[in-house]
A and B are shown apart, each in its own frame.
Chain A
Amino acid sequence: MLSLLIFLPVLGALLCWLLPAGQARWVNLLANLATCVLAGMVAVEAAGSTSYRLEAQHAWIPAFYGISYHVGVDGFAVSLLLLTAFVSTLGVLASWNIEKSPKGYHAMYLLLLCGMLGVFCALDLFLFYLFWEVMLLPMYFLIGIWGGPRRQYASIKFFLYTLFGSVLLLAAVIMIVLKHQTWSIPELTAAAGTSGLLGGGAGGLALAAFLGMFIGFAIKIPAFPFHTWLPDAHVEAPTPISMILAGVLLKMGGYGMMRIAYPFFPEAAAGMGAVISALSVIAIVYGALVAMAQNDLKKMIAYSSVSHMGFVTLGLAAGTPEGLNGAHYMMLAHGTISAMLFMIVGVIYERAHHRDIDRFGGLAWAMPRYSVLASFAFFASLGLPGLSGFIAEITTFIGAFNGPYKLAALVSLLGVVFTAAYYLITLQKVYLGQTPPAYLDKAHYPDVSARELAVLVPLALVTLWMGVFPAMALDCYRDVLNGLASTLSAAHAAVVAR
């Protein structure tokens, strides 16, 4: 079933290619809906599970340390699987009006989906890496062909950064595989125990490999100071791709950390905890400050992503159950909220053909529904209780403070203030104030269309639902991360004792 889930989009991509251009989007939508259904079925099976469900394993290249096609999901992975299917489906709706080579676009889109699903299902390091990289290619084209004016620059920058990350990841993977003679993630995790692979410990090879992996994943997250590709990529990417990028792609970094880097090298991770905490705090505060200085709405949101993803690494570095759960909750919450934010930017860009915060004003009266959704998203992102961002932030804060790096948690609270500041300033500049007469022209500035609502409202509902009833999403993956937390705390204790 997982294989079907992963490769259904490939089938869809082929269909997109074969069928007339006008039907590509329908194929895409259908494939995505089917993915949603399948992901839902998988979730029924695997939600909350700490063991891998729906496992499938076939020998693939036994000659090379036993590479196999091995997929399976636990509660942790399935939560991201659901997020992927959800955001991706809405992304199709957001890309309904793509006019430039629609066939290619939708085919690429589906290939991207395949890559994303694959990453979350793969239990074989080789397979994981394969999907991890495969995703880059469609993304490169999606940004590069269908993006904004500086798309060439942005796409190559995105590609190069992530490739540098992957290279380091690959180096670490090769070291691990050579030493442990297997590509199987579960086996390696078991072998790592609380000490770590490659001999374990907080130094030496284990540390080198951990750093390789960490940087590889940190670029994807993106963690400070590896984040500079993100604003450019976001600004140039078309709206749906921004949604996917922020909604799912960034989460792969976090997933990789929690699934691979941290479980493989708990002691090395514990040893680097202070550094990672510091970087996270910088990301949170710095990201928020930089966001505050932006005049491009999309760039501001991109930097807000940097800031928010800082919470992920902050929670991770703490290694407490609350920290990990909060970090992952942040990934899920940010996935939906940022997708919504980027859609909101897309909506106004379609009408105004610019994104300069200073040039907007008074949209609340010109496009009331749109503005309501926008402020909803803004408040969700700045962590208003009742919405998912709050749960994520508070849990992460608490988790971080419970961990060994209390100061980091305290300093990162500054981010809360700055975040509120830039969102409210933007809200005021763009949506409040006097409405210029131009905006009241319904022909050029219609309120959100039904299609746009169909994208925004589900995201808003999920945000609300995750904010009011967090237990359901949390319980889906909680036990897995609690397991990791106990490993990490044991590792931390061991490092401290040394």
Chain B
Amino acid sequence: MDLAALLPAILLTAGVLAVIVADLLGRGTSPGTPLTLAVGALLLAGWAAMHVPTDGRLVLGALRADRFGQVMTLLCCGVGVVSLLATTRGEALRKPGGEFLALVLVAVLGMSTLSMAVDLVTLYLAFEMVSIPSYVLVGMRRADRLANEASMKYVLFGSVSSGLMLFGLTWLVGLAGGTSLEALRAALANGAAEQPVFYVACALVLAGFSFKVSAVPFHFWAPDVYAGAPAAVGGFLAVASKAAGFAGLVRVMGSLDLAAPALEGAERLGRVWPKGSAFLGLLAAVAVLTMTVGNLAALRQREIKRLLAWSSIAHAGYLLLALSVWSQGALAAMLFYLVAYLFMNLAAFLLAGVMIRELGTGDVEAFRGLGRRVPWLGIAFAIVLFSLTGLPPLFGFVAKLQVFTAIFEQGYVWLGVIGLVNGAISLYYYARILSSMYLADPEGEVKVPRLSWADGLLALVLVAPVLVLGLWWGWILEWARAVVPVTLLGMGG
């Protein structure tokens, strides 16, 4: 029994129960206790995650205890903590109830599991375990029409998508003759990969994950849901849920035998489209579409949460692009990007929440003159947005550099160029926010937000790394490379 490997999960589960119990018992008397408990559980789980075995052993036949899973667990716990704290600073759900906290914990548990799952049943279950609490989290403000609507769209869209994925998964089960990814690998090696059903199943599974990471054409839910949900929840979904989706996708892809034929020198640099397998080509197409659609649609947005939603779609495109190359370097780059994305996007959603809280609207035009009126807020937002654009010397730039280097390294120059150009396009809409905050002269009375030290502290925690890690990122790179072993790719192991 590898209970040690399950310790984070156990702690999270305990946290869920503790929060519910504390909420039931202490309602009215100690409203802060559940939050403390939830944060504590997440921190404990994170701490435990640092000590789980990472030798790649199989835990209870369903989970792989390796550094990749460890890191994803850690990230998701971190995002959970920050999202909870950000919720308390955001525009809604300032005092989250026990249900909210419990659902966040369950979702984090699902994410952690998803990133370790090597069994299709577990994978599907974990997938739903992320989804179902998320549906509720989005609609947590019951009386809010928009939150309701967002929640409904999310649940319907999510269920259909997961239904598509499930159907694909069942075919994979059929091909594998079992539910473990190992069995699938073995079956594919024996020729199952040639079957048309395999490809269809892959496409269906990809549809499910596309929903999870909000990739085209399963991105439709994201703008509406992010706009309707509290900003902090939006951040949680955009970061943690997406990260978990990618982790799950990596697990699945690791068993699909996608190794691309190695080419040499100039021949390699001339490649246009991933040729390892049809799946990678499909993934690349989805990636390009995703980043392009996300960026182009974002050009039109005026509401900050919608804008961030479309931008997060575009970022999913970059991450998918890294995946579509499917090399160790690309995977490390993807992880690197995820870390950067985590800080940037959480910070963006946090700040958006704070501003909506104070201004009562998320319309970018309403931010006029804010940058100069509240300098730290302006600077923090500027750093975050420039980082999202991918401008040096910020974390976002280095992350993009990693991704595109990995893509170029495998020879997909054109893919890289498309991605880079997309990055440049994104400047326009990010800069619009800044333009409104700094460049536009305020019309009439400017509402000066009242911000507390807690807002500042939280922002500092998220924004400082964006700046600092943009300059000293060598260690993250080494760490990301170490976390992604070749075995994860389904190669050489």
Interface positions of A (Cβ within 8 A of B)? 60-64, 67, 101, 104, 129-130, 133-134, 136-137, 140-141, 144-145, 151-152, 155-156, 159-160, 163-164, 166-168, 170-171, 174-175, 177-179, 198-199, 204-205, 208
Closest to B391 in A: A133
- Closest Cβ of chain B to A118, distance in Å, is 11
Return the contact of A178 from the options B386, B409, B474 (Cβ within 8 A): B409
Which residues from A are CB-within-8-Å of B269?
Answer: 175, 178-179, 198, 205
If A63-B477, A133-B392 touch, whether A174 touches B423 (CB-CB below 8 Å) is: no
- Closest Cβ of chain A to B89, distance in Å, is 25
Which residues from B are CB-within-8-Å of A171?
Answer: 404, 408, 413, 416-417, 420
Which residues from B are CB-within-8-Å of A67?
Answer: 474
* B412-437 with Cβ < 8 A to chain A: 413, 416-417, 420-421, 423-424, 427-428, 431-432, 435
If A101-B372, A163-B427, A204-B266 touch, whether A61 touches B416 (CB-CB below 8 Å) is: no
Interface positions of B (Cβ within 8 A of A)? 266, 269-270, 372, 382, 386, 389, 391-393, 397, 401, 404-405, 408-409, 413, 416-417, 420-421, 423-424, 427-428, 431-432, 435, 438-440, 472-474, 477-478, 481
Q: In the complex the two chains form, is B431's CB within 8 Å of A159's CB? A: yes
If A133-B391, A152-B439, A160-B428 touch, whether A174 touches B386 (CB-CB below 8 Å) is: no
Q: In the complex the two chains form, is B438's CB within 8 Å of A145's CB? A: yes
Closest to A149 in B: B441
CA distance A137 to B394 in the complex (A): 12
Which residues from A are CB-within-8-Å of B439?
Answer: 141, 144-145, 151-152, 155
Q: In the complex the two chains form, is B420's CB within 8 Å of A140's CB? A: no
Q: In the complex the two chains form, is B405's CB within 8 Å of A174's CB? A: yes
- Closest Cβ of chain B to A238, distance in Å, is 13
CA distance A61 to B408 in the complex (A): 19
Q: In the complex the two chains form, is A133's CB within 8 Å of B397's CB? A: yes
CA distance A152 to B432 in the complex (A): 9
CA distance A129 to B398 in the complex (A): 12
Return the contact of B424 from the options A151, A156, A163 (Cβ within 8 A): A163
CA distance A61 to B469 in the complex (A): 12
CA distance A160 to B391 in the complex (A): 12
Q: In the complex the two chains form, is B408's CB within 8 Å of A174's CB? A: yes
CA distance A431 to B405 in the complex (A): 56
Q: In the complex the two chains form, is B413's CB within 8 Å of A175's CB? A: yes
Return the contact of A136 from the options B391, B413, B417 (Cβ within 8 A): B391
CA distance A178 to B386 in the complex (A): 26
Q: In the complex the two chains form, is B424's CB within 8 Å of A164's CB? A: yes
Most chain B beta-carbon neighbours within 10 Å: one of A159, A167, A168: A167
CA distance A163 to B429 in the complex (A): 14
CA distance A62 to B475 in the complex (A): 10
Q: A163-B389, A167-B423 are in contact. List 10 more A-B contacts (CB 8 A).
A: A130-B393, A137-B382, A141-B439, A155-B439, A160-B424, A164-B424, A171-B413, A174-B416, A177-B405, A178-B409
Which residues from A are CB-within-8-Å of B473?
Answer: 61
Which residues from B are CB-within-8-Å of A104?
Answer: 372
- Closest Cβ of chain B to A133, distance in Å, is 5
Closest to B413 in A: A175
Q: In the complex the two chains form, is A175's CB within 8 Å of B408's CB? A: yes
Which residues from B are CB-within-8-Å of A174?
Answer: 401, 404-405, 408, 416
- Closest Cβ of chain A to B436, distance in Å, is 9
CA distance A101 to B373 in the complex (A): 11
Q: In the complex the two chains form, is B428's CB within 8 Å of A60's CB? A: no
Most chain A beta-carbon neighbours within 10 Å: one of B435, B438, B439: B439
Closest to A179 in B: B269
CA distance A62 to B474 in the complex (A): 7
Q: In the complex the two chains form, is A130's CB within 8 Å of B392's CB? A: yes
Q: In the complex the two chains form, is B420's CB within 8 Å of A170's CB? A: yes
- Closest Cβ of chain B to A139, distance in Å, is 12
- Closest Cβ of chain B to A420, distance in Å, is 38
A-B contact pairs, 5 of them (CB 8 A): A64-B405, A133-B392, A145-B372, A152-B440, A168-B417
Which residues from A are CB-within-8-Å of B391?
Answer: 133, 136-137, 163
Which residues from B are CB-within-8-Å of A199?
Answer: 266
Which residues from B are CB-within-8-Å of A179?
Answer: 269
Q: In the complex the two chains form, is A160's CB within 8 Å of B427's CB? A: yes
CA distance A446 to B416 in the complex (A): 57
- Closest Cβ of chain A to B403, distance in Å, is 10
- Closest Cβ of chain B to A203, distance in Å, is 11
Which residues from A are CB-within-8-Å of B404?
Answer: 170-171, 174
Q: In the complex the two chains form, is B401's CB within 8 Å of A156's CB? A: no
- Closest Cβ of chain A to B90, distance in Å, is 28
CA distance A61 to B401 in the complex (A): 13
Closest to A212 in B: B417
Which residues from B are CB-within-8-Å of A167?
Answer: 420-421, 423-424
Which residues from B are CB-within-8-Å of A61?
Answer: 472-474, 477
- Closest Cβ of chain A to B330, distance in Å, is 13
CA distance A349 to B65 in the complex (A): 69
CA distance A414 to B352 in the complex (A): 55
Q: In the complex the two chains form, is B474's CB within 8 Å of A60's CB? A: yes
- Closest Cβ of chain A to B174, distance in Å, is 42
If A145-B438, A205-B269 touch, whether A178 touches B408 (CB-CB below 8 Å) is: yes
Closest to B472 in A: A61
CA distance A179 to B270 in the complex (A): 13
- Closest Cβ of chain A to B292, distance in Å, is 15
- Closest Cβ of chain B to A204, distance in Å, is 7
Which residues from A are CB-within-8-Å of B423?
Answer: 167
If A163-B424, A178-B409 touch, whether A134 touches B416 (CB-CB below 8 Å) is: no
Most chain A beta-carbon neighbours within 10 Å: one of B386, B392, B404: B392
CA distance A63 to B405 in the complex (A): 13
Q: In the complex the two chains form, is B392's CB within 8 Å of A129's CB? A: yes
- Closest Cβ of chain A to B448, distance in Å, is 16
CA distance A129 to B409 in the complex (A): 19
Which residues from A are CB-within-8-Å of B421?
Answer: 164, 167
Which residues from B are CB-within-8-Å of A175?
Answer: 269, 408, 413
If A63-B474, A104-B372, A175-B408 touch, whether A137 touches B438 (CB-CB below 8 Å) is: no
Q: In the complex the two chains form, is B424's CB within 8 Å of A134's CB? A: no
Which residues from A are CB-within-8-Å of B472?
Answer: 61
Closest 7 CB pairs of A and B: A61-B474, A144-B439, A167-B420, A133-B392, A167-B424, A163-B424, A130-B392
If A160-B424, A167-B421, A208-B413 touch, whether A152 touches B435 (CB-CB below 8 Å) is: yes
Which residues from B are CB-within-8-Å of A62?
Answer: 474
CA distance A62 to B416 in the complex (A): 23
- Closest Cβ of chain A to B336, distance in Å, is 10
Q: In the complex the two chains form, is B266's CB within 8 Å of A205's CB? A: yes
- Closest Cβ of chain A to B400, distance in Å, is 9
If A134-B392, A145-B439 touch, whether A140 touches B431 (CB-CB below 8 Å) is: yes
CA distance A179 to B372 in the complex (A): 45
Which residues from B are CB-within-8-Å of A170?
Answer: 401, 404, 420
Which residues from B are CB-within-8-Å of A141?
Answer: 438-439
Which residues from B are CB-within-8-Å of A164?
Answer: 421, 424
Which residues from B are CB-within-8-Å of A101?
Answer: 372
Closest to A64 in B: B477
Closest to B371 in A: A145
